[in-house]
Chain A
Amino acid sequence: MKLINIALKDVKIVFRDKMALLILLAMPFILMTIMGMALGGLFSKGPELSKIDVAVVNYDDGKVSEDFIEEILKGDELSKLLNVKEMDKKRAMNLVRIGDISSVIIIPSDFTSQIMKNKSTEMKVYGDPGQEIRASIVRSITNAYTNKVSSVMVGVRTGWESLTKLGKKTNLTEIARYIPFMINEMIEKDVEDLVKIEEENTSQKESLSSMQYYAAGMSTMFVLFSAMFGADSILKERDDKTLARLLSSPMKKHSVLGGKLLGIFIIGILQFTAYITATKLIFNVNWGRSIIGLVLLPISTVLATTGMTIFFASIAKTRNAVGGISQIFIQSMSALGGSMFPTSLLPPWLRFFSNFTINKWSMDGFLSLMSGAGVISISKSIIVLLAIALVFFILGIWRFSYE
């Protein structure tokens, strides 16, 4: 109960601080509006800012499947859209289940041999229900390819039957041996058809607007600022001796700190609630359909932020230092993590570092939810955010000095 009183006192103090309110509540909306409108062109090509991750499980060691993977999926055109990884079925199914990849293409062991015998065969595609749009793109590409293969096979059979009717004796198996070559020839001429399918799909799916992107980006970034205010508030208590007074009351040290951190947590949750509600009402931003996702993702983001608060308070010796350290951390995280612009604009080596930011995982989760994904698809984001929170809490509590 005392812990809650400390937290509520901090919330009250923040609500009476006009500068804090300006930064925590007004600034995000101003920036969302400016950046959402100014950088709309960046999103005009389509909402998918990142490539679609696809796993291929290839049981076949023949030429047709090899050509499909190397020439088609990893070819010049589709490599702009797809990120193809070959792996075993167990791992692929596991990754699609946790939402790490959108779909799995399974090529049977007799794929090439059946085609070369001009007999029917099929590839299977499993998609993550949470990434239905991405999965449907992969399914369309695979279908388009198999349709091409079928038409070649039908053409070969029709040709062979016609020749047989005309009395020309030819061996079907002998002709079928050339099917892989014919497929390649045909696909090479019509590869645009496969890409066109992808574009059609893209235009049909729920489109992520620049306003949606920056609603998620600025919300995450400005929730991080609550860590700066929180750390400053902890050090202010220490400087003003209210911390000493609190510690001289019948409370344990960690309860006092717990109360302070609970206050930061409540402020973060109030921020997200305000951002989501206001952007929905003012800009009609669609935050997706998953209510559970929209509850769990802000909670895990705010927990990571709360952890960062105690980390800042533990490494900064003065309140001025808190301002400096927080700004460096928050601005860097926001730039690297996608709050300011899509991470796809970063060079690959720099993109690697975005994995260590709160923004990246929070943004990934929000953008997935906005694209129609469910809570299972964002489970990885939630787990990583909770892990970040844990690391910050351990480091912060270990280093924090009450004196």
Chain B
Amino acid sequence: MSFNRDEWGGFSSGDEQTTGPAMSHPTSTAIIDMSNVEDSSATSSFEDVGDVNHRMKDTNGSRRQEQQDPSGMMGGISGNLGKVVADQMWQSGQQQAKKMIDVYGNIDILRPYFDIDPKTLLWRCAYSFVPLKNLSTAQKIPSELYGPLMTVFTLIAILLMNMKTSGTVLQQGTLMGTAFGICFGYWFGVSGFMYFLAFLCNAYISIVQCLTLLGYGMISHCVILLFGHFTHYSHGTFYVLWALIAGASAARMITVLLSRTVGKSQRLLLCVAIASLHMLFLLYLHFAYHHVVEEIVHSLEMVDTPIEKHDSEDSMRAVRDATHLKINNSLEIKNNSLNSS
């Protein structure tokens, strides 16, 4: 059987790497090196496509180098120009493809943060108003972005309604942009600040957990502003709600952070900073638009439309809605006509 072994090459004995006489034999080319086989043809994931593009670019580059020498002598200008243009086209296309792959990759990265059941979501919303009692063990903070993101979008919508009914005088084209900027700016900005402070104070928290904690805390802002939008509460009511509801959610955030921080001064710094920012933001949202309402009332009085002499707060509330304003004006017109008649 030994002569047969010479004919078909025999079994691979692991010495293919050596440059023996067996390698020079033509039958040894039947051995396939599996590492060179492209296995991406069957499984076309985006990463594989990227790899293939990269490889194709390499092979193209080597081919170009091989061909450049003869073309420099023989080819004309048009040939080189065509190659340059084709090269640029190829590179720009490759960059765009890479961007698309990155976007899809990022979506996959974000997907775990949106994995939540509606029931869990409701529980988390409810518990965002319940402070912790036990600070000795570190409270677990979920890394989830759906709830916070929806909270921010809801706050944007409520803010938009408040701006419109309170008659915020902006360049109207930027009304939506302002609401977007304020809400997302606060969310990202304060979360980043919280992460920075937590880093300084040795609190154990990640940036996504900061976003989650602060996002669920903003539910109190939504609740209070929405309540105010429909009921037109007075300052006193607002302060009560501010202290109770926003205070409760601030206490929740603080106690969660406290349970994950060691050291008294660090705890004090972190909690005072975050709680004051949380409470002041709601004050800002409330008074930024209330102030404008007062201005409108003054301007209306200056224009000589004597609104009936209620106490000033009631009149300000009345101006909040255009419909209310219409009622007042029409009543006055009717009164005037009755007097004249």
Chains A and B belong together in one complex: no
Which residues from chain A sit less than 8 Å from chain B, CB to CB?
A: none
Which residues from chain B sit less than 8 Å from chain A, CB to CB?
A: none
